[in-house]
């Protein structure tokens, strides 16, 4: 009986570890320093890969060449807002590729980011693949 009880406790621990993290406060997530979302987005808006603590899916749309709107969906802290979202973006370019980003919305279920990319030596829009990483600040 003791072995059976231990097996049940082990199974519960494994299942609990596989469940999504419970929503917490922005401050508690910020202390951990782990990304809540990240993605590689192709120039055509295809999501190559994504992940992050709380992120369940990512979609992207191309507003114009070099301009993407990227939506991260999942379970984020209940007190999240645009001012607490820290974003790092970069372009996958042969040379001089840069990006700019703006967090346009943040809620406990979705974070929306506009990303643009261009070449810094001539300011021509490149339409490159972009990398996005999202952290939460306090």
Which tokens is 135 given? Answer: 């952290």
Q: What is the pLDDT of residue 23?
A: 56
Burial class (CB in 10 A: 0-12, 13-18, 19+), 80: buried
> Residues 111-117: what's their mean pLDDT?
96
pLDDT confidence band for 54 (50 / 70 / 90)? very high
Whole-prediction pTM: 0.79
| Beta bridge partner(s), residue 58 | 72
Task: Residue count of the chain, please give it.
Answer: 138
Which tokens is 73 given? Answer: 């969906």
More confident residue, 91 or 3: 91
Measured CA distances, 127 to 59, 62, 99 (Å): 17, 9, 10
Give me the percent of the chain exceeding a pLDDT of 90.
60
């Amino acid at each position: 009986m003791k072995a059976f009880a231990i097996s049940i406790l082990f199974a519960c621990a494994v299942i609990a570890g596989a469940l999504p993290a419970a929503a917490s406060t922005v401050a508690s997530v910020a202390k951990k320093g782990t990304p809540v979302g990240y993605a590689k987005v192709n120039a055509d808006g295809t999501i190559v890969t994504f992940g992050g603590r709380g992120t369940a899916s990512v979609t992207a749309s191309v507003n114009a060449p070099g301009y993407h709107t990227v939506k991260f969906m999942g379970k984020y802290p209940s007190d999240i807002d645009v001012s607490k979202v820290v974003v790092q973006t970069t372009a996958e370019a042969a040379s001089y590729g840069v990006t700019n980003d703006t967090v346009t919305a943040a809620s406990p279920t979705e974070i929306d980011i506009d990303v643009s990319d261009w070449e810094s030596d001539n300011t021509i829009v490149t339409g490159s693949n972009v990398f996005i990483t999202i952290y939460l600040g306090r």
